[in-house]
Structure 1
Amino acid sequence: MMDQLLLALQGLRRSRVWLSIFRREQLPQTEADWLAMNRRNFFVHILPAKIHKGSTRLSYNWIWMGVISTWLFVILTITGLFLMFYFVPSVERAYDSIKEIMNSVTLGRFMRNMHRWAANLMVFAVFLHMMRVFWTGSYQKPREFNWVIGVLLFVVTVLFAFSGYIVPWDQLGYYAAKIASNIADGVPYIGPQVKQILLGGTDLQQPSLLRWYVIHVFFLPLVIVLLIGIHFWRIRKDDYSKPVEYERGRRD
């Protein structure tokens, strides 16, 4: 039985369908072959073929806060999609639908709490990641552009958390939206226009909630996925940062 299974797997690996996807009949045998596969494969290319030992020190990388932030975003995406099936973005029903998720939906309380805690932890993890990059000087040449992308990611993460407060449309959400619209109104030249865009009118009503909901579930996720992609791409292009004692020669 096992021999037949192995023969079937070997036949599958030689099939046209398999070769159209993986382009190889066998695993790489030499270091050059592994490097070539690393360059060609999208999923493998996100990880470097080699990494300096100094970059793996716990005192330097702070247990990979950037990776933790990414996985927290994955958790937010999964739990957010679950909540979207039950949440009703209506002024009359928004808060009641949240209570229904918490009390009546199977795994609803668990998924909502996971979403809430992952959001709080993501803000904290991204902040710690930025502090690590700043204190270790990893933002310096040649990584200045990626530092700017990281700052934008932090801003979008905070906006994500803030818009998440508004969506349930309880007292906290209502007054958070009111404060946000008043802050937007204070922007020079374009303030009133920005406020009207956020409110969908002149006062907090149904269009206001719907616009914040679209911002939370569509616009901000689109922006953050784009920025994460650019961030990872620049990490691969600029190489992983190393402790200062290993970076001096490169910066000079």
Structure 2
Amino acid sequence: MNQNHSSSQQALQFAEYTALAASVAGSIVAIASQKLIWAVTPLSATVILNLLNRQQQLHHLKHLQQTQLEQVQTQQEDGTQTLDSVASQLQQQATVVQNLAETIGKLDQRLQEHSEMLYNFTSQLSTIALEVNTHQETYQKQVKTFKDQLTAHTHQIASLSEQLGETRAKLHQEYQQTAQLLSERLSSVEDSCDPNSIQTTLQHLQSEYEQLVHTFPQLEDHLASVSDEQAEWKTSLTHLKQRVSQLEDKLS
């Protein structure tokens, strides 16, 4: 359409220039021949062509203005839509930012609560650690005292065991000496011929024998009981030593 309009515009301009040239030529001819028809006719054609050309230019300008106006309106509509889209996106971003701000506020509050809880736990842990250290020192002292007492009892039991061995040896020695004495007295009785002396000696021997019969079992029972107690003490001491070692391992 623009090309057709341009061709028509060029044709009108060419015709207008031709008519103008004809008007000039007609004016010259009219002056020479003194006939106005030669000047009026080309001049009228020139005016008419000029009018047509001006109308064509005016129509072209109006069309161009309308086209530019439509382009401007289209650009404005596109710009308005773009602005609306940007405004909508900004509103969405503002909503997202607000939600994030609320979430951050909640997280900050929870972080503050956890920080307070952590501070309380730290304080409690410090108190517990102090108590543990204090009790540990007390326990270590008690274990050391108990260990010292246990060592003393161990030495005492060892001493008692030694005394028990000596007592057994003495008892065995006394038993052998008594048996030897009885044997010697029996031999002397056999060598003696005095019935009264024999009777007296026999009674004396009978008395000593009964005393020995009564004493030796008691001594044996007592020694056996002491031996059993000694074994129990040794077992208890072994268990106590194990417990003391465990306590020392825990406290170290």
TM-score clears 0.5: no
Larger helix percent? 2
**For the superposition of Structure 1 and Structure 2, which TM-score range results when normalised by the shorter chain?**
under 0.3
Q: Relative contact order (alpha carbons < 8 A, sep ≥ 6): 1 or 2 greater? A: 1
TM-score by length of 1: 0.25
**Which structure has the bigger radius of gyration?**
2
